[in-house]
Structure 1
Amino acid sequence: MKQVETISTLQMILLFQAFITGSTIINIQGPFIGIAENGAWISILLANGFGFFVMMVVLFMYERYPTLSYIQYTKVLLWKPIAYLFGISLALIVILFTANITYGMGQFLTTSMMKESPLYIFHFLIMMVAALTVRQGIEVMARMFHGMLYFLFFIILSILVLNITHYHPEFLKPVITAGWKPVFHAAYVGIGFPYVDIMYFAMILPYLKRERNEPFKRWMYGGLLLNGIILAVTIIAAIMVFGPMVTYEKFPIFQLARIIEIGESIQRLESIFGIALIIGSYMKITMMLFIINEVVTQLFDLSNKRAFVFPLALLVYLFSTTSFNNEVELGESGLLMETILAFSLGLLPLLIVAGRSLVKR
């Protein structure tokens, strides 16, 4: 099936980096350090290694069916009722996880920056902006996120560099404070978010413009490795600054921005850094909403894709405001259920489809 819109290899790589790093840069450090403490950076690298396996399967299917998305080649390879079952399950978990990310972004705003504002206002605004962006198409998203991603990386690098006088490497020891079990537990959480998310990106790959001599697969693997390095370095930086107290911080990277001081005139720059972190969540939520729209329209063969963006955004908004009563419930869901749901309803069907493609000519 020929796609009307196409994006270049560089744009696809940057979209992937925004997708895999976007909201993760806010949400992952706190839970990982809370579980594995000083070994959290090992956990993220282990989870990142599992992400290479997911990437390998996704790119294998892309090489076999370069013009088809996950939903499209599932309908080709499997019995139609099973294909619909896999498609509906994928749509449900992506809707749920997008709602979780939206809730996490609202939680960040209400606990760190605007504590008196109602949570639902932020949910509504981010979903409205995301829906408006999705309606403009993948090409506009690729151009927008290009500059936004550079800005996000610049801010992260600035946070790390400007805190260099606060680092205490001795806080990194002992690395394994309570054995390997917490390290593997945190890695298990990381497999569910963000690394099984890589399979959702299979809905976007058909928009890639096929270019000769472009090392696309190599750059995708390199982008995934860069993601693991960025997350591990931010975790290490938070541990070196806050020491044992880092386990009490919900958003360690934002707290790193809060303590930056340049002389006596430049202080309390966390609002600027907070805007950059919000941009990261916006990019991830927008791409997840785009994927939801692609799944639904392709599954039911709907011709007018843009007509369903706002109803789907409203559905995600309702999930984000009603799924959890407080942040404790969100944390429990992420620590236990998210990986189970992502594997059973997302990755396992992909493995079944890939296995079927091996035996079907």
Structure 2
Amino acid sequence: MRKEETVSSGQMACLFLSFMLGSSLINMPQPLADAAGNGAWLSVIIGNGYGIFLLACVYYLYRKNPDLTFIDYSRKMLGKWVTLCISIPIILLLLLMLSNIVVDIGGFLTNAMMRETPPYVFHSLILLVSAMTARSGIEVMTRMFVMLLIYMVLFSVTVLILSIPFYQVGNLLPVFPDGMKPVIHGSYLVLGFPYSELVLFSLILPFVRKEKNNSLKKYMFLVLLIQGFMFVISVVCSIMALGPLASTFKFSVFQLARLINIREIITRIESFIGIALIVGSYMKASITLFILKETLSRVFKLHDERIIIFPVSFVALLLSLTMYKSEIEHAEIVLVVWPLFITIVAVLPLIFITLITLLKGKKIKSKDT
């Protein structure tokens, strides 16, 4: 792996939190409440447990070969041609993921804030800024994202706190009005977005510099628990405040911000949440584009991987403008098809290679004894 850039364990954890929170904190409560009802928060807990398992697999492979990305490690274990068969679907996955992020944020801006502005304006601006950020390198990204992450978390938490007068605990009951089936359905949604997506970090973990007290494992798992806690809180607060309407109003936290009116002094603060959603989506788009750039450069062995950022961004722009005919079609793909697609393309190959590595390690140990 090239060593031009490295980041600390704490910086990588910050990048990981930016990626995992991204737009999920504001986007997911509504579809989760629609699928799982009052048990939506249990779906998040199940999804977080699944995420811990996947992160354990990612970290295990990283610990075995700290200098190799998932693509490099696959080439070492399975050979060039099998790795190519694995890599091409992952590249397609990343490209579609980038396009979906842009479609999502463009739809939010068009529907909630600037209805007269055509979507291609937002899509172009988001991809341009994300491309420039990804081109600047992982060190610049991590330094900048610390402040943006603080902003996003601070305003999201502030809105949830100021919405306390609207909370009714009774809206959380009954937890299982239709049994466990809706909760399992909700778990299926969060397995695809955001928890299965964390396996993509196996493609950039080697950027972490080697430290005497390697605390990457502690930081990464702590970040996942923090993300799960914030996710659960946002879902619970949305259900308590909006009741049955939590499954109807898209961008539930944004809708909560609209309710806040404290003596006509603190009012109309939904714009801050809107900015937080834009910031979260921008950070996730930049990280996704950076991972896509690194994957392409390793699969095709490019000498200067930065030259492909703008062409790839242009392809993502075209996809974001032509993939979907309506928001309903976009929602169906993201919530129904995406969890299955990312599981087949990214999760299963990672688990397969982890099992091979584990079995080989046990075989070597048995020979030594």
On whether the aligned pair clears a TM of 0.5, the verdict is yes
CA distance in 2 between partners of 1:234 and 1:288 (Å): 24
What is the 5 A alignment of 1:160-179? 160-179=160-179
What is the 5 A alignment of 1:91-110? 91-110=91-110
Is the 2:32–2:247 contact (alpha carbons within 8 Å) kept by the matching residues of 1? no
Which residue does the alignment assign to 1:195? 195
What is the 5 A alignment of 1:1-361? 1-358=1-358, 359=360
CA-to-aligned-CA distance 1:66-92 (integer Å, 9 cap, x gap) = 011111111111121110111111111
Moved more, 165-174 or 130-139: 165-174
CA-to-aligned-CA distance 1:195-240 (integer Å, 9 cap, x gap) = 1111101111111011122322122111101111101100111111
Is the 1:71–1:299 contact (alpha carbons within 8 Å) kept by the matching residues of 2? yes
TM-score, normalising length from structure 1?
0.97
CA distance in 1 between partners of 2:3 and 2:77 (Å): 20
Is the 1:3–1:206 contact (alpha carbons within 8 Å) kept by the matching residues of 2? no
Aligned residues: 361
| Paired residue type of 2:247 | T
RMSD: 1.2
SS at match of 2:210: coil
1:50 Cα deviation from its structure 2 partner: 0.4
Is the 1:152–1:277 contact (alpha carbons within 8 Å) kept by the matching residues of 2? yes
CA distance in 1 between partners of 2:98 and 2:185 (Å): 23
| Paired residue type of 2:146 | H
Identity of aligned residues (%): 39
1:2 Cα deviation from its structure 2 partner: 4.2
SS at match of 2:194: helix
CA distance in 2 between partners of 1:86 and 1:143 (Å): 32
Give unmatched runs, 5+ long, in structure 1: none
Which residue does the alignment assign to 2:367? none
CA distance in 2 between partners of 1:20 and 1:103 (Å): 18
| Paired residue type of 1:205 | L
